[in-house]
Structure 1
Amino acid sequence: MEDEENHLNVLSNLTKVIGFRTLEASDGIEGLKLATENNPDAILLDLAMPNMDGFELMVKLQANPQTSSIPIIVSSASVFDADKQRSLEAGAKSFLPKPLQVEELTKTLGNLLNLEWIYDNLNSNIDTTLSQSSSPNPKDFTQTEIIPPSEEIIEQLYHFAMMGDISAIEGILKEITSGDKQLLIFANELGKLTVSFQTAKIRKFLKQFLAKESTQK
């Protein structure tokens, strides 16, 4: 339940990638209706929503025996400890600050729902591309010989990493490797991080190429 359309789309794509069926609400009233009618496994909501804010929604969910046991995760841009404490007192099981980090979300969902993540096929599109016979022999390359894509693409990848949009990153990697086999090593290294949603390490990996581009100018 989220009032920002862009953030809602990112969350929706992410949760679908990791195997969840999602229901989306743009305000608290719609969120309460969906939760009551569908009894979801978990609820992820923002505090700032029109018509009924996150605090009021949590109070109503907790007061209803039908929804009181559903774990609630609050994702908010608020930096105030008071909002975090108030969220937990209102019924939230966890408080995750924005921008939402993929590692934190998957860890939190795993803990709340007793899930064991299986990553084998999450990066199947990239793995398929990299396993083709046209792929370079790894022995022919060293870590320093990774050829990155253009700075524009690096910046796009970094932007999606900041948003936690793993699907968008994998889509770009698939596109660039289909057009330029020299980028396979770069895509392979980045793909190792996307498969386990390591957004912090993805950003660190990409920043080294942004630094190189800036130095060369």
Structure 2
Amino acid sequence: MNNFNDILFLFDDSIYYIENENSLKSNPIKKENSYNIHVDTSSFTLIPEQIFKNINPSEIHTFLGRDENEYSFLEYFLPKENAYLIWAIEKNQLQNLESHYPASNLLHFSSFLLNDNHYKNEVRFFKTASFIYISAIKNQKLQLVNRFKIEGLDDVLYYILSVIKESDLINQSFDIIEIGMIDREIESKLKSIFGSKLTELYHQKPLKLKPL
């Protein structure tokens, strides 16, 4: 996984860091330090490298559905996926981040799920009370990564099941990885549905996110 000391998150205009239980400092963040800030925005896409090189940027911006007068478009290459991640961020939000954390690197939150070692077949997710990110890997290849709005457990299960079906994992053995605080109710539901299909259902070490 990532070096958690170098990571910040931006959710709903609030910065969060990963609380270290062994740290004596209640707020270890120094604005002059360099961090990888993972920003949550709903407008993002992955484009294979060869396609990216032959497509007009304006077409990508139009596809993302954001006004170029109000949004900035950022991009970076993901070697493991051999694709470019392009995402839109509000210009005011971008300016605030650059002024407060000038030495930091901005990434889209989906990278947090993708920049890790993966199992042969897996579904990985991170959720808050209002949204969920889900990625799916089949035969060590990324099938999709997406963000969905949620209101409760039914939405979480619906989108996880939809991703499993869309990624053609429904008849495969696979792992499910939940990143963040453990949700025993979701764990129980998924085990009851996919008990015979799961190679293993396990959780990463819970991430205790604390707002600055």
TM exceeds 0.5?
Answer: no
Q: State the TM-score, normalizing by the size of structure 1.
A: 0.28
Larger CA Rg, structure 1 vs 2: 1
Which structure would you say has the larger RCO, counting Cα contacts within 8 Å and 6 or more residues apart?
2
Looking at secondary structure, tell me which structure has more strand per residue.
2
